[in-house]
Each structure stands twice: as C-alpha cells, then as structure tokens.
Amino acid sequence: MFVLEDETAARRRGARIRAVVAGHAATFAGTSDWKRSRESLTRAIQGALDEADCRAEDVDVVFADALGVPEADQAEALAITDALRARGGSVPVTAPKTGFGRAYCAASSLDVAAAVLALEHGVIPPTPNITDVRHDLDLVTGHARPADLRTALVLSRGLMGCHSALVLRHGSETHA
C-alpha cells in the first residue's frame, strides 16, 4: 500500500517523507503498433519530466517496463533515448520485474516501491535473468549498483496501448 498526502501536511505532522511524486504523464497509442508505442511513451516521459520541472540530466535511474516482447522492448529503449537525449544511453536502467513477472496489474506498483527503496538506500536493483543486453542502454544486470540517487523515472505500459511515466524524487530533495 502507498500512502500519498500533501507534503505540507506530512511535514506538519512530522511524517517521514520517503519519496515525492514530482511529475506524471500518461498517453495512449492503441495496441500492437510499436512505432506509435515509442512515440507515445516518449511523450509520456517528456510530460512527466515537464510536470516535475526536471531536465533529462537530472534523471539518475530509469525503471523500465520491460514487456519481454523484442519489438516492444526496442520501442521502449528508443523512447528512453529519445526523451533523455544524450543522457539516454548512459543513465542506469533497471527492470526488476524480469525476476518476478508482470504480477497481473501490480508490476508498475512494485516498480514504484522498488524505486522508492532505491532512492532511500542509494542502490539500483539489478535486472534479473538477463545475460544478453540488446539495446544501447546502461542496463544494470548481475548485481545491485550503488549510486547517489535523487531522481527516478518509472515507466509503465499496458498491453492495450496505455503509457505512463512517473518522476519520483528522494524525500530529502524537497523543501521543508
């Protein structure tokens, strides 16, 4: 379960702020057209970054959707590099769900939880069960990677063409 509340109210009551939802955007491209999927996910990422007032250079880690369909994963990799431009090939990317599956509709929630924990502990979880990286991304595999994490981008795609991007910031990154 996630508990979201107004930051001012949370601070007033002395709550521990684990992460802040800084920006979100969602788009729709329809089903099975991976070229449109790429463009739609790129727009979702850009919209979330804009809402968060976040530059591509500020993203420290991407939690990819990683559908497991080669054409879909290629479209996602290209969307990441399209949206993050020069930083797209060097920002660490992980997809923890390759270890636990899509969990029906819960996979994106599990990715959000993993992103919050990564921000808190300064460790990027690896992408399990991947031995051959086929995209021009800095995919974290094998072992967790320590990192100074301030901003995470979490991506989600539905099989019917929905695309979502969420920008999370470390809880200490906000104003008191």
In a domain, 5, yes or no: no
Q: What pLDDT is attached to residue 32?
A: 65
Radius of gyration of the chain (CA): 15
User: What percent of the chain shows pLDDT beyond 70?
Assistant: 96
* CA-wise closest residue to 18 among 145, 149, 143: 149
Q: Please tell me whether residue 56 adopts helix, strand or coil conformation.
A: helix
DSSP assignment, residue 40? Answer: H
CATH code of residue 149: 3.40.47.10
In a domain, 17, yes or no: no
In a domain, 9, yes or no: no
Asked if 5 contacts 45 with a C-beta cutoff of 8 angstroms, the reply is: no
Q: What pLDDT is attached to residue 28?
A: 92
Distances (CA, A) of 83 to 33, 103, 170: 19, 27, 21
**What does the pLDDT average to over 149-176?**
86
In a domain, 14, yes or no: no
Domain residue limits at 28: 22-170
Q: How many domains does the chain have?
A: 1
pLDDT per residue over 75-130, tens digit each?
999 999 999 999 999 999 999 987 776 777 777 889 999 999 999 999 999 998 88
Asked if 5 contacts 16 with a C-beta cutoff of 8 angstroms, the reply is: no
In a domain, 70, yes or no: yes
DSSP assignment, residue 87? Answer: G
In a domain, 92, yes or no: yes
Query: What confidence category does residue 173 fall into, taking pLDDT thresholds of 50, 70 and 90?
Result: low
Tokens of 64: 């990819």
In a domain, 175, yes or no: no
Least confident range from 27-31, 39-43, 136-140, 142-146: namely: 27-31
Query: What confidence category does residue 175 fall into, taking pLDDT thresholds of 50, 70 and 90?
Result: very low
pLDDT per residue over 4-49, tens digit each?
999 889 989 999 899 999 999 999 987 767 778 899 999 999 999 9
* CA-wise closest residue to 166 among 52, 70, 73: 52
**What does the pLDDT average to over 132-137?**
82
**What does the pLDDT average to over 131-146?**
89
